[in-house]
Amino acid sequence: MGGFECADHINRSGLRINLLDETQHEIRAEEDYKLLVSLGIKVVREGICWSKVETIPNVFDFSSLRTRIEAAEKLDIQIIWDLCHFGYPDGLFPTHPQFCNRFKSLCRSFALFYKKKATQPLIVVPINEISFLSWHSGEMRGTVPFAINSGFDMKYHLCKAAIEGIKVLKQCDKHCTILIVEPLVKVHPAHDNVAQEKIEELNNYQYQALDIIAGRLCPELDGSPDLFDMVGVNYYFNNQWDHLDQTLPWPPVDRKLTPLSCLLLKIYYRYNKPLILSETGHFGDLRAQWLEEITLECNRALFLGIDLRGICIYPVIDRPDWDNLSSYSNCGIWDLDQDKNRVAHQPSIEAVSKCLQFMDLQNRPDFLLAK
């Protein structure tokens, strides 16, 4: 699968960003989809940019989505839609008294629009990475409301909106597939003197949002495991660190990382839902090596019995830094030149082709029988 960066939040400088505009993907969707199809990829993650489609409170204009919907229909691409990736309309934030109602209105209007305009089944991520967004906005002053010591409060209200929004989506389209996407991380002890209970507590924070939506925490919000159909996990090279917040390097230097397949196994048995590796990727010269390792780990996950449905390379097209739009990350399958032309990162292209061939071979029925 391929993902397109669609962040539209207010950054640390107080400026609204829209990375669909910055990368020109919104107007060049067919070109970008054809690039993916040339590699054998026909599933994508996209975002609607809530801050753009809600023109005034509770009034929506989804015309900006038509280019992507039409291109997907033409090329037989399946889109997974993020309704709230990281941004909200001006003046809105998770603890705002109208946040939940406005999000429900967004869900209803989008589902009705999509039913009229598309023939593909509707697959939705209601709110992307609630755990990260709560930390970024409620602890690190990374976006509105630029708070500290408020991470769980943000998480609570984002989960409330997600639960209510999912109910609206399923009322509008009973066949709608709901994917809940959260970061997948591992916290290690920095030394032998830290209590194991503390490490377990730190690792369990990543499950809070899913537990609330599943009804295991905060039952007053009326969560339920029936609200979602699949779990997506976002996993990058810097998703393992120690309890002193020091990132463990990849490739490993002097400390062993927990294999991705083991992390996938734990979350799979916790929720018993099909999994998608909903974002993964690296920067610069390590992109290809990362994709090859991730593919091997996902293949191991399949042999462990995990119902893993896909690997989403994110982003497909390079993106600028959220807080410095002149600085590009060199993290795509295709980089961008000064005119926004797509420039193939050849090692990544070759790695994608190699990994697809490997997965096709490893998971053929006759191969499995031979094993």
Task: Give the pLDDT score at 255.
Answer: 78
What Å distances lie between residue 81 and 65, 131, 159, 329, CA to CA? Answer: 10, 19, 18, 24
Other Cβ atoms closer than 10 A to 204: 11
In the predicted structure, residue 336 carries a pLDDT above the cut 70? yes
Is residue 284 classed exposed, middle or buried when 0-12, 13-18 and 19+ CB atoms within 10 A define those classes? Answer: exposed
Look at residues 194, 188, 134 and name the one whose alpha carbon lies nearest to residue 162.
134
Band of residue 270 on the pLDDT scale cut at 50, 70, 90: very high
Question: What local confidence, expressed as pLDDT, does residue 363 receive?
Answer: 62
Contacts of 23 (CB under 8 A, 6+ apart): 4, 5, 317, 318, 319, 336, 340
Q: Which residue has the tokens 């490739």?
A: 251
Instruction: Note whether 333 and 348 are within 8 A (CB).
Output: yes
Report residue 139's pLDDT band, with 50, 70 and 90 as the boundaries: very high
Query: By CB neighbour count within 10 A (0-12 exposed, 13-18 middle, 19+ buried), where does 199 fall?
Result: middle
Q: Which residues contact 268 (CB under 8 A, 6 or more apart)?
A: 231, 275, 301, 306, 307
| Strand, coil or helix: 365 | helix
Per-residue 3-state assignment (H helix, E strand, C coil) for 218-233:
CHHHCCCHHHCCEEEE
**Nearest CA to 84 among 125, 123, 121, 114?**
125
Q: Residue 365 has what pLDDT? A: 46
Residues found in the chain: 371
For 222-257, what is each residue's pLDDT tens digit?
A: 999 999 999 999 999 999 999 999 999 999 988 789
Identify the helix (H) or strand (E) that includes residue 303: helix 287-303
Instruction: Report pLDDT for 187.
Output: 98
Rounded Cα distance, 149 and 165, in Å: 26
Q: With 70 as the cut, is the pLDDT of residue 367 above it?
A: no
Label residue 371 by pLDDT band (50, 70, 90): very low
- For 182, half-sphere exposure in the C-beta direction (CA atoms, 13 angstrom radius) is 30
**Contact residues for 200 (Cβ-Cβ < 8 A; gap 6+):** none
Residue 360: predicted pLDDT? 81
- Quote the DSSP letter at residue 206: G
- The arithmetic mean of pLDDT across residues 354-360, rounded, is 91
| 366 has a pLDDT exceeding 60 | no
Q: What is the mean pLDDT of the chain?
A: 95
368 pLDDT higher than 70 = no
Q: For the chain, what are the domain ranges?
A: 2-370
Query: Residues 270-299: what's their mean pLDDT?
Result: 97
How does DSSP assign 220-287, residue by residue? GG---GGG-SEEEEE--TT-EEETTSPBPPSS-SSSPPPPHHHHHHHHHHHH-S-EEEEEE---GGGH
CATH 3.20.20.80 fits 2-370, yes or no: yes
User: Which two tokens mark 367?
Assistant: 């191969």
